[in-house]
Amino acid sequence: MTTPEPLTLFTADGVRIDAGHLPGDRARCFVVVHGFTCSWRQDRLRDIAAGLHRHGGVIAFDLRGHGRSSGRSTVGDREVLDVAAAVAAARRRGYARVVVIGFSLGGAVAVRHAALHGGADAVVAVSAPARWYYRDTVPMRRVHWVIERRAGRLAVRLARGTRVAPQGWNPVPEAPHEVVGRIAPAPLLIVHGDADAFFPLEHAEQLYGAASEPRELWVEKDFGHAEVAVTPDLLARIGTWAATH
C-alpha cells in the first residue's frame, strides 16, 4: 500500500487537523470523512482510501476530537469546517474536481458542508442520518448515552480516544435533510444498506426526497453500516460514478 503524505491542516476556527494524502490523477480527489469514533489511520479507513485511490487522489483526515486532531467533537456541527480545510488542501494541490465522501456521521457532515459552504464538485453520503436525535435503534441509544452523559464521554475517550464536547448544541445545527436541497447543482449520491442496524432505510429516503437533481439513491442489499460494511465492489462503483458525474 502507498504510504500517505502526512498533512497538518487548520480550520477556520483554529482546530488542528491530522490528515494524509495519497497523490493521484489530478482530474479528481476524494476527501474521505469518517464516522463517529473512527480515524483515517485505522486499517478499515486505510483500505477505503486505497480503493478510492484507483480513481484519483485521496485526502483522508481525522475529524476534530478524533485521533490525532485537536479540539472536541461537536457531533456534526462545526465539523463542516474540518471538511472545508481538507477540500481547500485538495484545491491547493491542483485537483480539478473534489468529491467528498462521508460515512455515517461523516456522511451527515459531507451533506452539511456541501450545502452550507459549497466547494465540493460531488458528494457521496454512505449510511448517513437524515435527522438528529434518532433513538429508535439500540446502537443509536448507546451513541446518545456516549454523547449526552459524562460517564459516556469518559468511556468513549478511554476506549476510542474520541473527545466529545460536553456542552452540547446551542443552537441546534440544521439537520442534513433540512439543507440537502442546497447541494445542487453538484451531484449527490446516497448509499444505504437494507441491513443497517443504526439508521434504517427511511433516513436515506428522507435525504433523497429532500435533495434536488442531480441525485441518486443506491439501496445495497444485505449491506450493514458505514465503513465496516463497505466492499471493494462498492468502492469501485463509487469511483466510476465519480468519474462520470
Give the domain ranges of the chain.
5-132+173-244
Cα 131 to Cα 200: distance, rounded to the nearest angstrom: 12
Query: At what angle are helices 79-92 and 105-116 packed, to 10 degrees?
Result: 70
CATH for 5-132+173-244 (3.40.50.1820, 3.30.565.10, 3.40.50.2300, 3.20.10.10): 3.40.50.1820
Contact between 49 and 59 under an 8 Å Cβ cutoff? The reply is: no
Q: What is the DSSP letter of 85?
A: H
The mean pLDDT of 161-189, rounded to a whole number, is 97
Q: What is the DSSP letter of 64?
A: T
Neighbours of 136 (CB within 10 A): 9
**DSSP strand pairing (188-193 vs 215-220):** parallel
Which residue blocks in the chain are alpha helix, DSSP H? 43-53, 79-92, 105-116, 138-148, 150-160, 176-179, 201-210, 226-229, 232-244
> What's the pLDDT at 36?
98
pLDDT tens-digit profile of 98-156? Answer: 999 999 999 999 999 999 999 999 999 999 999 999 999 999 999 999 999 999 999 99
Give this prediction's pTM: 0.97
Cα 161 to Cα 158: distance, rounded to the nearest angstrom: 6
Q: Can you read off the three cell numbers belonging to residue 206?
A: 428522507
Cα 169 to Cα 175: distance, rounded to the nearest angstrom: 12
Does the structure show a pLDDT above 80 at 1?
A: no
DSSP three-state, residue 151: helix
pLDDT tens-digit profile of 203-232? Answer: 999 999 999 999 999 999 999 999 999 999
